[in-house]
Structure 1
Amino acid sequence: MSRPSRRVVLTGLATLALSSTVTPAHAAAPASPSATFTNPVAEQRADPHIFKHTDGYYYFTATVPAYDKIVLRRATTLQGLATAPETTIWTKHASGVMGAHIWAPEIHFIDGKWYVYFAAGSTSDVWAIRMYVLESDAANPLTGTWTEKGQIATPVSSFSLDATTFAVNGVRYLAWAQRNPSEDNNTSLFIAKLANPWTISGTPVEISQPTLSWETVGYKVNEGPSVIQHGGKVFLTYSASATDANYCMGMLTASASADLLNAASWTKGSQPVFQSNAATSQYGPGHNSFTVSEDGKSDILVYHDRSYKDISGDPLNDPNRRTRVQKIYWNADGTPNFGIPVADGVSPVRFSSYNFPDRYIRHWEYRAKIEPNVTNLADSQFRVVTGLAGTGTVSLESANYPGYYLRQKNYEVWVEKDDGTAAFRSDASFYQRAGLADSASGLSFEWYGSAGRYLRHYNYLLYTQPADTATAKADATFYAE
């Protein structure tokens, strides 16, 4: 974005107590309130999978750097997984199959039993990667006994991994990545019905192969499928390219009422839906899974990435992929919006308007405003951080421009870079108050530099202005989402 020429601010406008030209009925508190986390959740844990069970626990497993075992931890909150004790539930075989490259475990609860899907090579050929399943009938899978159910057999015996399972309209499916010997690539994506949790039923169907430029950097790869359903649609995300900074996520979409075993039912997006972001220092995001927030009201993206771009040697030997989580938002057309991999530390939120509930605070050419349908999600996300002015204040830091904050200038609100001055610290600091128009669920932000002046919108632009009328209070009230 380029900075526009600074327009002259009239003194009269700067001192006028502005009022909205329209006063619609206000909205109820949002159905999906904010869900914030501190990232990363787990260091040196790649290919993360988190399952929220009916017992109130989140169960978390991931690939360990030594590729030699399957670990599991649980907690009653997503953030609690960061410090939860970890249990090794299975260790690779000393020889033969399942003896090397223990990759990408996933834990699922199906028909009253726990199942872990994982990939493994052999001690005689570490690249003879195939898919395997463990089963436990214990209430607590960390303390239960696990039984090997064996390999998931596919019609073609070739490099295969990243099995995941999901049910649509009561039918259970398996999706995975496999080398198709008739194609010039590493892996494509397949789907099949399951006769039981470890046995494919019928003939698998290939639904995607790596052909696009961003799917073929370093290696030609489609892998790590994961499914989320919303609004009658099935969204299958996957990862592509080499496991360095080029690693990224793509997405296939199908109707939940379609024949999912017909490749024509699936539409592939032409661009990645999630990829490296230099501004936030997040590189190679991918191999994701999905879960939900503690209150069940927000969908959560789980993924790994690295905090640096340059890797010495084979990326598979670099141990520093870490598990991260952030909230998913849904576009007006019903598609998921993953935004960008957010910076380490506290994750950002969006602020919707109390009296224009479809509009969010966002920046456009650095000017702050409220606007609907912000598909460039990060433009409407802000981290609520300790105020630059201190003394119990907060500052609102741009998600996609770290170091840039909402600040008032001549009572207009812009997103600008912290220049280190006392004036900027004052201009970019606010007291977070209970919502002036909804003290139970809403928020209002009183400017640190002038008591009684709040962040508020007028003609959809943001200002710091007095909130001394009912309309002004409504204009100065927001919901964190």
Structure 2
Amino acid sequence: MNARTPSRRTLLRAMAVLPASAFLAAELPVLAGTAQAAAPAAGSADRYTIVAFTNASDATVNVYQSDDATDFRLLKSAAYTPPADRIRDASVFRHTDGAYYLTYTTHTWQDASTTIGFARSTDRTTWTHLYDHTVPIADLSRAWAPEWFVDTDGSVNVVVSCSVTSDEWNFTPYLLRATTSALTAWTAPVALAGIGPNHIDTFVVKTGSTYHAFTKNETTKYIEYATATSLAGPYTLRKTGDWAGWGSYREGPALVKLDNGGWRLFFDGYGAGQYYFSDSYDTFTTWSAPQALPGISGTARHFTVLQERVTASAVLTAGTTRSLQSVNFPTRHWQNQSGLLNLPVVGSSGTAAERQASTFSVVAGLADGNAFSFRDSAGNYLRHYGFRARFDPNDGTSTFAGDATFVARAGTTGGSVRLESYNYPGRYLRHSSYQLRVDPADGSDLFRSDSSFAPVTALA
């Protein structure tokens, strides 16, 4: 929804660029609830997948992909259209058979909806409708926002928000458990004890022996937090109101665990027409200030995020010497110019000094051995300071190590790489006016191209 469009339930009830002068200023302090990035092991990569309907249509869904849980790009538009009705609030997971499964709301918000839909894919982009499952609740009016939950015993469950005809906008979360490995049959629904009516979009994760539920209070419009020692409850509501600083008119909470040990919560800020994320590194006690997802905020609606570790080709290798070529300006390469990293035109015909200044040693990251650092011929390290890329001698501090460490992510072309700041996740080395900076990804194809570089044979 856009900022002028109220929530589906509300309708029914009613019926950052720094100036040049800052280049050498001290960087911003790390905010509460943030942490460093974490690099996947060599030969592997992170992959985060979203399957979402959009503001424009709830008749189909798009598939988006990211390798940092922040910068999502469109993988396929109109990837799945059910044979009838609608698809909203899609939740995705990967089953033990290696296939991907969707469950979703089958009708638009105006209509009664007594079923939840299921679809299957082997590649995340081509989906086959499996069936619509009628949720067996007497006098059911609406079954909305089904969410997958796979328990530590391997059981596959769906948590779905349901209302009855006598009070059709008063939702209660119910639990269904698959009774076949093919996910073709389900137990009778059981209400999640302790959360109770007037809660919708309930999402559950488990840490140790504790189940954590995030659920929207439909009266206050805040996302609340509850815990239990059993999946079906009883849950105890631990946090209500604006306890995490996310604000009101928020819905569709969904969590994913990040490589650095934190948890990221995504939610639909429909009151502002935006989609947000917020991180916690102390098991849900405190949270970072919510940030709009670049690129898809305001477009994608209510989704979950699937995190996977996948095989990747090693574009960078520690212990090698390389030059770094711009993907979208291939005659230009990284070059140390008076201690600053710039992107001039340079090639094999350049002077010996120019070619030497464009040649770098690739080494294991100072702060994370699975990430990378870069040294020039004088032994100085590439680091960011005031978010400007520059070369300095290693002073041995943890701050310098973080500034000089970059996590390799997939570039826009084969054989290219994007370099994410280790201590400022979501910021990438990119060229702007042929100067290299560490800037936050904005979700655009231009930014991805500006931040993609091909490691090529050393010029010197």
Please report the TM-score for the alignment, with normalisation by the length of structure 2: 0.52
Q: 2:225: which partner in 1?
A: 190
Q: Any idea what SS the aligned residue of 1:254 has?
A: coil
2:42 corresponds to: 30
Equivalent residue in structure 1 for 2:298, among 272, 283, 293: 283
Question: AA paired with 2:411?
Answer: V
Partners of 2:199 and 2:450 in 1: CA distance: 52
Task: Please point out which of 242, 251, 267 is paired with 1:239.
Answer: 267
Cα distance change, pair 415–85 in 1 and its aligned pair in 2 (3 A): same
Does residue 88 (structure 1) correspond to residue 131 (structure 2)? The answer is yes
In the TM superposition, what whole-angstrom CA distance separates every residue of 1:329-385 from its partner, at most 9, and x where no partner exists?
xxxxxxxxxxxxxxxxxxxxxxx983142456888789655885469x9x9888733
| Residue 175 of structure 1: how far off its partner (Å) | 0.6
Alpha-carbon distance between aligned partners in 2 of 1:431 and 1:134, rounded to the nearest angstrom = 48
1:415 and 1:210 map into 2 onto residues whose CA distance is 33
- Deviation track 1:20-53 (CA, whole Å, cap 9, x = no partner) reads xxxxxxx996375364846245658654433233
What are the residue-to-residue correspondences of 1:445-460 with 2, within 5 Å?
Answer: 445=456, 454=458
Q: Tell me the equivalent position of 1:355.
A: 363
Counterpart of 2:187? 147
Q: How far apart are the structure 2 equivalents of 1:284 and 1:215?
A: 20
Q: Which residue of structure 2 lines up, in the alignment, with residue 118 of structure 1?
A: 160
**Aligned residues of 1:176 and 1:190 also touching (Cα < 8 A):** yes
The answer to whether structure 1 residue 210 and structure 2 residue 242 are counterparts is yes
Q: CA, structure 1 residues 234+112, in 2 after alignment: closer, same or farther (shift >3 Å)?
A: same
Distance between the aligned counterparts of 1:149 and 1:200, measured in 2?
Answer: 13
What does 1:293-304 align with in structure 2 at a 5 Å threshold?
A: 293-295=308-310
CA pair 41-194 structure 1, distance change in 2 beyond 3 A: farther
CA–CA separation in structure 1 for the residues paired with 2:296 and 2:252? 24
Q: How does 1:12-411 map to 2 (within 5 A)?
A: 30=42, 32-33=44-45, 35=47, 37=65, 39-40=74-75, 43=78, 46-64=88-106, 66=108, 68=113, 69-76=115-122, 80-91=123-134, 96-97=139-140, 99-100=141-142, 102-108=144-150, 111=153, 113-141=155-183, 144-154=184-194, 157-169=196-208, 171-179=209-217, 185-195=220-230, 197=231, 199-201=232-234, 204-210=236-242, 214-216=246-248, 219=249, 221=250, 224-226=253-255, 228=257, 235=263, 237=265, 239=267, 241-242=269-270, 245-255=273-283, 266-272=284-290, 274-277=291-294, 280=295, 282-283=297-298, 289-295=304-310, 354-358=362-366, 359=372, 368=389, 373=402, 384-385=411-412, 406=431
Measured against aligned partners, the alpha-carbon deviations of 1:366-409 in whole angstroms (never above 9, x if no partner) come to 9655885469x9x98887335xxxxx99797999999x974896
SS of the residue 2:93 aligns to: strand
- Does the 8 Å contact 1:239/1:286 carry over to 2? no
Task: Call closer, same or farther: CA 1:118–1:95 in 2, change over 3 Å.
Answer: same
| 8 Å CA contact 2:88, 2:106 repeated in 1 | yes
CA RMSD of aligned residues (A): 5.1
Distance 1:101 1:54, change over 3 A: closer
SS in 2 for 1:153: coil
RCO comparison, higher one (Cα < 8 Å, 6+): 2
How far apart are residue 225 of structure 1 and its match?
4.6
In structure 2, distance between residues paired with 1:281 and 1:369: 32
CA deviations on 1:38-76 (whole Å, 9 max, x unpaired) are 624565865443323333233333445626332233344
Q: C-alpha separation between the residues in 1 aligned to 2:194 and 2:44? A: 41
Amino acid in structure 1 at the alignment position of 2:308: S
Partner SS, residue 445 of structure 1: strand
TM-fit CA distance, 1:81? 1.5
| 2: CA distance, partners of 1:187 / 1:35 | 30
Distance 1:160 1:415, change over 3 A: closer
Contact 1:61 1:71 in 2 (8 A): yes
Deviations 1:177-203 (A, max 9, x none): 1539xxx822442323244x4x313x5
Do the aligned partners of 2:44 and 2:310 also contact (CA within 8 Å) in 1? no
Residue 477 of structure 1 is matched in structure 2 by none
Deviations 1:221-251 (A, max 9, x none): 46525353767x6636253643652342334
| 2: CA distance, partners of 1:86 / 1:372 | 50
CA contact 1:174–1:200 (8 Å) conserved in 2: no
Question: Which one-letter code corresponds to 1:293 in the other structure?
Answer: E
- Displacement after TM superposition at 1:253 (Å): 4.2
Task: Tell me the amino acid that sits aligned with residue 245 of structure 1.
Answer: G
Distance in 2 separating the partners of 1:164 and 1:94: 20
Per-residue deviation, 1:275: 1.1
- Distance in 1 (CA, whole Å) between partners of 2:258 and 2:296 is 30
State the number of aligned residues. Answer: 313
Q: Which runs of 5+ in 2 are unaligned?
A: 1-16, 22-38, 49-64, 66-72, 79-85, 313-359, 367-371, 374-381, 392-399, 440-448
Task: Verify the 8 A CA contact 1:64 1:70 in the aligned structure 2.
Answer: yes
What is the identity, as a one-letter code, of the residue corresponding to 2:42?
P
Q: In 2, distance between residues paired with 1:176 and 1:282?
A: 21
Within 2, Cα distance between the matches of 1:179 and 1:172? 21
